[in-house]
Structure 1
Amino acid sequence: MKQIPTRFLIPILCTLGGFAGFSHTAMAEDAPKAVTEENQPVLLEADELIDDAQNNRYIARGNVEAHFDGRILTADTLYYYPETKRIHAIGSVVIVDTGGKVEFAEEMELTDNLSSAVALAFFARLANNATIGATQATHSKDGKRNTLTKAFYTACKACAGKDGSHKPTWRLRARKVVQNQETKMINYRDAVLEVKGIPVFYSPFFSHPDPEAGRRSGLLFPQVRQSGKYGFSYEQPYYQVLGPYADATLTPRVFTKLNPLILGEYRRNFHTGQIRTNGSLTYEQDFDGQGTTFGKQKFRGHIFAEGKFKLSDTWVWGFGAAGVTDDLFLRRYDIQGENTTRGIYRTNSLRLNNQIYAQGQSEQFFAQAGILRFQGLRAGDVDDQFPIVGPLFDMRRKVKDPVFDGTLMLRANTVTLTRIDGTDSRRASVSVDWSRRLVSKSGMILRPFAQGRTDLYQVHNPDFFADLGSNNRSIARALGVVGADFRWPFFRPGRNVSWTIEPLLQLAASPNGDGVGTYNSFTTDSSGNVVATQRSIIPNEDSIAVEFDGSSLFSTNRFSGFDRWEGGVRANVGGRIAGRWGKNGEVSLLAGQTFRTRVNTDFTLASGLREKTSDYVSTFSISPGPILKLRTHARFDKNDFSVRRVESDVTVSLRKDQMGPLGKVLHSFNASVGYLNFDDAIASGRPREEVRGRATVGLTEHWSVMGSATRNLASKRATGINLGIIYKDNCSSLEITYRNNNTTDRTLTPNASIGIRFTLVTLGSFGSP
C-alpha cells in the first residue's frame, strides 16, 4: 500500500467538515486554524492508492475511508491535484464530524485553502436531528457566504414511509438560500412551507437569524386568537438585542373590538445577577366578557419586575415589583402573572406583592430582611388598609447544646407595620428552641422539646381610645411550651407486602391565653344597637388562617405567625400505617385527634380546634403503581363523624398495552380528578364545594383530544371548561383549543375564546393556544 502524504489529506477533512454546519456555523469556523503533520495524524484506507504522476494527481479508489481529528470521510474515489491544490471526491461522499453531524454528497470539489467549495446532491443530518439538503451547495471565495440552490430544511426525522416515499410533517423549501457570515442571517428566496408534501405557505422573501449565531434582532412568530370579549386579536412581537447582556421585546396586540394594547419586556444579565421586567399600556374603557365597553377612556396598564443579585457565597439581595391601574386589568386582557411570587416573600391569591429583600444562608445560619407593600385585586380591597411591612427581619442560628447534648435553635424576628388607614404596630421577638432525639433499645423514639419566646409590641390603634383611654399601647409577653414526641415504629416484612405500624403521641403544655389583655371594640348592628366585642390588644396580622389537617396534627403551635400562640395543655394522638409491595406499590394512612384541658377561644369554630376535643384528621394515599395515584386529606366532625373538610386528588395514566380491549382503539389515557369540600369561612363565610377534572385521550400515536372542567357544586355552575385537539410528533405540534371562563367578578363577565397554535421545532410557534 502506497502512503499519500499527510499534508494532502488534512485540507480535505478540515474543509469538508464544514458543510453540515451550513445553517448553523460558518465552514471556516469549523476548520482548525493550525494543523501540523506531527500533532494531527491521518489514517487513510482504500482498496487502491495510486500516485498518478502522468496527470499530476493522487488517487484513492474503492471504499475510501479517512480518519482525522475525530472526523471520518468515506467516498468511492478521491482525487488530489497538488498543482492546483484542488480536491475532488466522487461517489457516496459521507463525512461524520465530532459533533454528530453527518454530511452526504454525490460529488464534492474544493480547494485546500477553503477559498471555494462546491458540493452536488448535498444532504446533511445535523446534531439536533434536523436535515438540510440541496442540489448544489457553494462556499464563496471570500468566505462570507454559503449558498444552497434548490434547498430544503426540516427538523423531522429523515426516514422513508412504508411505500418508500418520504413526506415529513413539514419541510421548508426554497429556490435559493444564502447564509451571510457577516450579518449572521439566513435569507430565503421563493420560500415554500410544505405540510405532508402539500404547499401551505409561500413567501418570495423569508429570513431568520442563524440558529447558532446567538441572539439576533427581528420579528418573532405572531400569535392570533378569537375571543368573545375582544374579538379577533393579532399579536406581533419584535425582538431587539441591546448588547451582549440585554434584550427587549415589544409586542403590539390589536383587536377588532378594542383599542390596541402594547406589551413590552426587558431583560438584562449582570455579573452578579439579573433583572426581568414586563409591562403593558393601552388607552381604553372598561369592558365585560362580551367586549361591551363602558365608562371613561383612560390609560391603563401593568408592570411586573424582579431582580436577584449575589453579594457573596452566603448573601443575596433582590426585589420584586407589581402594579396595575385596575383590579381587573390583568384578567380582562388575559395577562398572566397576578399570582406569581417575585422575590422570597410569597404572595396571596389576587394580591400583588412589592418587595425588596436580602437573604443569607449557610449550614447553621439563616437570615433575611425585607420591606413589602401590597395591592389588592379582590372586590372590597382597600389598599390604604393594607400595611407597609418593613423593616422585616428574621434570623435563625442552630447551635449544639453543650449541656444536654441536644440541638438549640436561636431566633430573632422583628417587624414594623404601617397603614395609611388602620392599626400600626411594631414587634420584636426573641426565641430559643431546644430538642433532643433519643432511641430506646426497643425502638421507641423520644424527642423532648422546649421553647421560650419573648415578644415586645408597640401598637397604635384608633379603636383603643374608647376603652383604654389611649390610642397607643406597649405590650410585653413571655411565652413558652414544653413537651415530648413519642414514636414507636413496628415493621413486619411479608412475602407480598411489608407493613410499618407507628403509634404517635405528642404532649405539650403552654400557659393559657396569649399573655395579654383585651379591649372592647364597639360597632353598630343592623338595628342600630351598639355592640361591644372583646378583642386582644395585640392585632392579629400574621396568624389569621389556621389549617388543621394531617400535616399540622403534631405541630406545637398551629398558628403560622407570631401574633397568636397556641396555649394550654394538650395531647396530639394518632398513628401511621404504611405498606409497600413490588417496585412502586405503596399505601399509607395517617390519622389522629387533639385533646386539650380547656377550650381555646383563639381558634375559630370552623377550624375544628376550638373545643377540648378536636375534629378527626387523616391523610390517605395509595399508589398501586405508576398507573394510579390517590391522595386525600380529610377532617371529620368529632361528634357525628360528618365530613367537615376533604381535599382529594386521583390520577390515572394508561399506556396502550395497559388498557385491555380499549387498547385496540386508543393509544393512551391520562386523567386527573380533584374534589374540594371545606368551610371557606375566612374568605366568604359560605361552604365551598368544588370538583375539577382533566383528561387527555390518545387516539393514535400523534393525535389526541383533551378536556378539563371545574364545577362549583354549591352554585351548581361550571366555572371553567377547556376542550382541545392536539397533534404532536417529533418535529411539530398543532393545538386547537376552546376555553370557556364562566366566572363573574364585578364587571368582568363570562367569556369564551378559540386558540390555534402551530409549532415547528427549531423555527418557533405561530398562534396562541
Structure 2
Amino acid sequence: MRYLSALLMLLVCLSSPALAQSTPPGPAMLIADDVFLEGDNTLVAEGNVEAFYEGRRLKATRVTYDRSTETLRIDGPITLVDAEGDLLVLADAAELDRAMENGLLSGARVVMDDQLQLAAHEMSRVNGRYSQLYKAAVTSCRVCENGRPPLWQIRAERVIHDQQEQQLYFDNAQFRVLDTPILYLPRLRLPDPTLERASGFLIPSVYNSSTLGTGVKVPYFIKLGDHADLTLTPFIATKTTTLEYRYRQAFRNGEIEFNGAFSDDDQGVRSTRSYIFGEGRFELKRDFILTFDIEAVNDDTYLLDYSYSGKDRLDSQLAVERARRDEYIRAAITHFRTLRTNEQDSFVPTLSADAEYERRIFPARLGGELRLSAETHTHFRSSDTLLDGADFDPYSDGLDLTRFTTEANWFRSWILPGGVHTRLQTGVAVDSFFVDQAGLTSDSRDTNLTPSASLQLRWPLLKRTATNATHVIEPMVQLAWVGGDALNIPNDESTLVEFDEGNLLSLSRFPEPDRREYGFSAAYGLNWTRLDPRGWETSLVTGQVIRDERQLELSGLSSFSNVSGLQGRSSDFLLAGQLKAPNGLALTARGLFDAGYQTTKASARASWQNELADIGATYVWLRRDLAENRPGTISEWSVDGSYRLSRHWTGSANWRYDVASDRNVTAGIGLTYTNECVEAKLSASRRFTSSTILEPSTDLSLTVALRGFSAKTTDKSYIRTCRN
C-alpha cells in the first residue's frame, strides 16, 4: 500500500505545464486496468490510467514508479488538465523525479489558457520553475491535421517558460507567416497568456495623414508595480515627432488616469505642441466622492490635427459630492477654455463655482414630501469691459455674476376614484443676484421671492387585446401658478432652452433659476404605450403649454428664443415617439411644430443592433436663431455603424453630411479581419471642414495584433474550424 500511496501523491501534484513544486495534502484517486508490483521496488499501473486530485486530471497508458531511484516514468499518450481548465499538457512519454521538479517529456505540446500552443521535440523541467522546450514552435492559430502550416508561428531553438514570472523567452527565434520566415530575432521575450500585466511592447500601427505624413506608432507598456503603469508611444512620421503617454494608478480608495502627448512639427503656431487630459475618482469619508478632470492644450488645432479629440471647448473641474437616499450635496469649481474661432476666452466665463444642497423630509402630520434646497453659483470673465452684450450674445461683455437660491417645495399625491393620479406641489423660492461689470442695461444686485403651486392629473387607462398586447393611454394635465416679478438681470445661464417630454409638466422650462416662468399656465398632453409579448414596443407623447397674458408680460418674450418652442401664449406642439422591434431595430423621433404646422426643431435616430450589425443614423434640423448663437439653419445627417460581413470580416463606416451647406463634414471607412490568432484593422478617414486655422485632412492607419499573448480571443465565434 505504501507504494500505491507514493505513486498517487506523485501523480496528482501535476498542476501546470511545468508541473507542481510541492505535494498538496488531501485525498486522491487512481484508476487503472491493472496495478501490480515488479520486484520489491517498482509499482506499475497500466491500462487506461487516470489520476484525479482537486480538479486536476492525468491520463496515461502506463505509469511506473521506481522506489530505489525515486523516479517516475509515464508512457503516453499523456494528457494533463489543471483544475481551472486553463492548461492542457500533451506528451508521448515522460521521466520525472520524485518531487516532479526535474525531468524530461518527449513529444510535448502545451496549450495555455485555451489560447497559446507550444510544441517541441523535448520539454525538460528544471528546479520546479522552468520548462525548457527544444526545437519549439509557438502559435495561437488553429493547427489542423491536414499538413497546412498555421497562419503565423514563432520557431525557436529553445523556449523557456518561467512559471513564476509568467514569461516566455525565445532563443534564435523566427517569425513565420504561412511557414515563410519574415523576421529573425536572436532574443525575444513575451508574456504567457495567464499574465495580465507585464512591461513590454504593445501592438504597433502604421499611420498616414495628409497633414502629418507617413509614420509608425510603437507603444511600450511599463509596469510600475501592481497598481500603476505607464504607456509610452513614440509616433515618428515624416512631418512630426510625437511622444504619446498614458499613466494609470489605482489606490485603495480611488484611481487616476492621464493621457497626453508632446509633438514637434510645423503644423501649428507653435513648433512644440502638447496636450494633457486627466481624470480621477476617490472615495472619501462619510460617503463623499472626490472627482477631478483636467483638459489643457497649448494649440487650438492640436487635438483635431492628431485626432485626439473633437472638443471645441475644454473644461477642467474639481468636485466633491455625496448622494444618499434623502440628501444630496455637491460643490465644484470649473475652468473653461474655448477653442472656437468665433469666441474669445476673455468674453467666456473662465472660472465657475457651484455648490448645492438638497434634503428630503417626510413629515408625518402633513404627509407627502418636503424638499429643501440651497444653491449658489458664480462665474468670472477676464474681460474688463463694461459693455453688457445682448442676452443671446454673452461673448461681448465682461460681466461677472453670483447667484444664491434657496427653495422649499412640498409634494403630495393621491389616487382618486377611477384611478386618477393626482399630485399637488406648492413651494417658495428666494433668488439673490450680484452682478459686476453689468453696464447700464441691468441691475447690479436684486432679490426675488417666488411662490408657486401646481396640480397635476394623470389618468392611466390599460387595455389588453386578444393577441396579449398591452395598451396604456395616459391623458395628463397640469395647472400651475408662479408668483413674483421678473428681475432686470442678464440672461447668463439660461441662454439655451429645450422643450421636450421631460419638462412638459414643469413649473419652469428654464435650465437655471436666473430665469423663471411667472403667472398662470396650463400644460396638457397624452402618453400612449404599446407592449407586445413578441418583443414590439411603441410609445408616443404629445403635449402643449398655454400661458396667460400676465405671464408673457412678466417673463418677457425675449426670455425664450424664437425656436425654443415656448415663445408666445401657446407653445409649439410637442410630438415624440419611439419604436423598438424584436429584430434589434429602434426608431426615435422628436419634433416641435408651430401653429402653422411648420417644424421648429426636429431630430430622429434609427439604429439596428443584432449579432451581425450595429448601425445607426441620425438627422437633426434646427431653424436659424441668433438667440441660440446659430446664424444659419442646421440640417445634418450622420451615419455610423459596423456590419459583420462574414465569420472573420467586419466592415465599418461613418459619414456626416451638412444638408444646409450641401457639403460633407467627415467620412470614414474601416475593414477588420479577426480570427483566433490575429486581428488586422485597416481604416481611412477624411475631414472636409476648413477654417482660417484648420485644413481638410485624410488619415490612413493599419494595425495588426497577434492574439494569444496580450490580445486574447474573447469571442469564440471568430475561431476557425478544421476541414477534412
Question: Structure 2 length as normaliser, TM-score?
Answer: 0.89
Aligned mates of 1:305, 1:693 — CA distance in 2: 30
Q: Secondary structure at the match of 2:121?
A: strand
Q: Secondary structure at the match of 1:550?
A: coil
Specify whether residues 753 and 35 from structure 1 end up closer, same or farther in structure 2 by C-alpha distance, changes over 3 A only. Answer: closer
Q: Work out whether 1:35 is the aligned partner of 2:6.
A: no
Q: Per-residue deviation at 1:512?
A: 6.5
Aligned mates of 1:419, 1:176 — CA distance in 2: 67
Q: Per-residue deviation at 1:542?
A: 2.1
Contact 2:205 2:701 in 1 (8 A): no
Which residue of the other structure, out of 574, 583, 593, is the alignment partner of 1:617? 574
Aligned mates of 1:379, 1:607 — CA distance in 2: 26
Match of 1:729 in 2: 675
- Equivalent residues in 2 for 1:408-419 (5 A)? 408-419=370-381
Q: Per-residue deviation at 1:198?
A: 5.2
Moved more, 397-406 or 174-183: 174-183
Aligned mates of 1:330, 1:696 — CA distance in 2: 25
- Equivalent residues in 2 for 1:232-381 (5 A)? 232-258=214-240, 260-287=241-268, 297-312=270-285, 314-336=287-309, 339=311, 350-381=312-343
1:352-398 C-alpha deviation (Å, 9 max, x unpaired):
11122211121111101121111111113222333354542111111
Contact 1:425 1:460 in 2 (8 A): yes
Aligned mates of 2:307, 2:402 — CA distance in 1: 39
- Equivalent residues in 2 for 1:14-93 (5 A)? 14=13, 16-19=14-17, 27=19, 30-31=20-21, 33=22, 35-36=24-25, 40-53=26-39, 56-93=41-78
Aligned mates of 1:185, 1:364 — CA distance in 2: 52
Q: Work out whether 1:489 is the aligned partner of 2:464.
A: no
1:393-437 C-alpha deviation (Å, 9 max, x unpaired):
111111103333111111111122222211122221111122122
* Aligned-partner residue type, residue 699 of structure 2: S
Match of 1:443 in 2: 419
Match of 2:657 in 1: 711
1:283-316 C-alpha deviation (Å, 9 max, x unpaired):
43335xxxxxxx5x53321122222221125112
Q: Per-residue deviation at 1:746?
A: 2.8
Which residue of the other structure, out of 533, 545, 553, is the alignment partner of 2:504? 553
Contact 2:590 2:602 in 1 (8 A): yes
Aligned mates of 1:482, 1:563 — CA distance in 2: 19
Q: Structure 2 stretches of 5 or more lacking a match?
A: 384-397, 713-724
Match of 2:716 in 1: none
Number of paired residues?
A: 688
| Larger RCO of the pair (alpha carbons < 8 Å, separation 6+) | 2
Q: Per-residue deviation at 1:715?
A: 0.7
Which residue of the other structure, out of 150, 167, 174, is the alignment partner of 2:135? 150
Contact 1:6 1:42 in 2 (8 A): no
Specify whether residues 462 and 506 from structure 1 end up closer, same or farther in structure 2 by C-alpha distance, changes over 3 A only. Answer: closer
Aligned mates of 1:316, 1:654 — CA distance in 2: 37
Contact 1:616 1:635 in 2 (8 A): yes
Contact 2:351 2:381 in 1 (8 A): no
Q: Work out whether 1:578 is the aligned partner of 2:529.
A: yes
Match of 1:641 in 2: 597
Contact 1:3 1:49 in 2 (8 A): no
Specify whether residues 494 and 192 from structure 1 end up closer, same or farther in structure 2 by C-alpha distance, changes over 3 A only. Answer: farther
Aligned mates of 2:322, 2:610 — CA distance in 1: 45
Aligned mates of 1:486, 1:447 — CA distance in 2: 7
Which residue of the other structure, out of 224, 227, 245, is the alignment partner of 2:206? 224
Q: Work out whether 1:746 is the aligned partner of 2:692.
A: yes
* Aligned-partner residue type, residue 649 of structure 2: W
Q: Per-residue deviation at 1:236?
A: 2.2
Q: Work out whether 1:132 is the aligned partner of 2:127.
A: no
Which residue of the other structure, out of 607, 614, 629, is the alignment partner of 1:683? 629
Specify whether residues 382 and 621 from structure 1 end up closer, same or farther in structure 2 by C-alpha distance, changes over 3 A only. Answer: same
Q: Secondary structure at the match of 1:492?
A: strand
Contact 1:371 1:388 in 2 (8 A): no
Q: Work out whether 1:500 is the aligned partner of 2:477.
A: no
**Alpha carbon RMSD of aligned pairs, Å?**
2.5
Contact 2:316 2:336 in 1 (8 A): yes
1:561-592 C-alpha deviation (Å, 9 max, x unpaired):
12111222111111011112133111111111
* Aligned-partner residue type, residue 586 of structure 1: E
Aligned mates of 2:27, 2:624 — CA distance in 1: 76
Q: Secondary structure at the match of 1:547?
A: coil
* Aligned-partner residue type, residue 189 of structure 1: D
Q: Secondary structure at the match of 1:331?
A: helix
Q: Secondary structure at the match of 1:187?
A: strand
Contact 1:148 1:177 in 2 (8 A): yes
Aligned mates of 1:764, 1:42 — CA distance in 2: 36
Q: Work out whether 1:6 is the aligned partner of 2:5.
A: yes
Which residue of the other structure, out of 548, 565, 587, is the alignment partner of 1:608? 565
Which residue of the other structure, out of 93, 97, 102, is the alignment partner of 1:116? 102
* Aligned-partner residue type, residue 7 of structure 2: F
Moved more, 721-730 or 749-758: 721-730
Moved more, 413-422 or 610-619: 413-422
Aligned mates of 1:504, 1:167 — CA distance in 2: 70
Contact 1:513 1:565 in 2 (8 A): no
* Aligned-partner residue type, residue 267 of structure 1: R
Q: Per-residue deviation at 1:462?
A: 4.5
Q: Secondary structure at the match of 1:5?
A: helix
1:323-356 C-alpha deviation (Å, 9 max, x unpaired):
11111111112223x64xxxxxxxxxx2111122
Q: Per-residue deviation at 1:702?
A: 1.6
Q: Work out whether 1:208 is the aligned partner of 2:154.
A: no
Aligned mates of 1:327, 1:726 — CA distance in 2: 33
Specify whether residues 749 and 94 from structure 1 end up closer, same or farther in structure 2 by C-alpha distance, changes over 3 A only. Answer: same
Q: Per-residue deviation at 1:669?
A: 5.2
1:45-82 C-alpha deviation (Å, 9 max, x unpaired):
1111111116x311001011111222111110001011
Contact 1:129 1:157 in 2 (8 A): no
Aligned mates of 2:710, 2:197 — CA distance in 1: 14
* Aligned-partner residue type, residue 378 of structure 2: T
* Aligned-partner residue type, residue 569 of structure 2: K
> % of aligned pairs identical?
25
Q: Secondary structure at the match of 2:570?
A: coil
Q: Per-residue deviation at 1:157?
A: 4.8
Contact 1:673 1:693 in 2 (8 A): yes
Which residue of the other structure, out of 512, 516, 535, is the alignment partner of 1:565? 516
Match of 1:430 in 2: 406
Q: Secondary structure at the match of 1:551?
A: coil
1:429-475 C-alpha deviation (Å, 9 max, x unpaired):
111122122112311111111231111222112413xx68xxx7331
Specify whether residues 264 and 697 from structure 1 end up closer, same or farther in structure 2 by C-alpha distance, changes over 3 A only. Answer: closer
Aligned mates of 1:571, 1:311 — CA distance in 2: 45
Q: Secondary structure at the match of 2:581?
A: strand
Q: Work out whether 1:477 is the aligned partner of 2:448.
A: yes
Aligned mates of 1:165, 1:226 — CA distance in 2: 39
* Aligned-partner residue type, residue 725 of structure 1: L
Q: Secondary structure at the match of 2:267?
A: strand
Moved more, 149-158 or 77-86: 149-158
Match of 2:719 in 1: none
Match of 2:395 in 1: none
Q: Per-residue deviation at 1:197?
A: 5.2
Q: Secondary structure at the match of 1:10?
A: helix
Aligned mates of 2:629, 2:215 — CA distance in 1: 36
Question: Structure 1 length as normaliser, TM-score?
Answer: 0.84
* Aligned-partner residue type, residue 510 of structure 2: F
Contact 1:757 1:765 in 2 (8 A): no
Q: Per-residue deviation at 1:243?
A: 3.1
Q: Per-residue deviation at 1:220?
A: 2.7
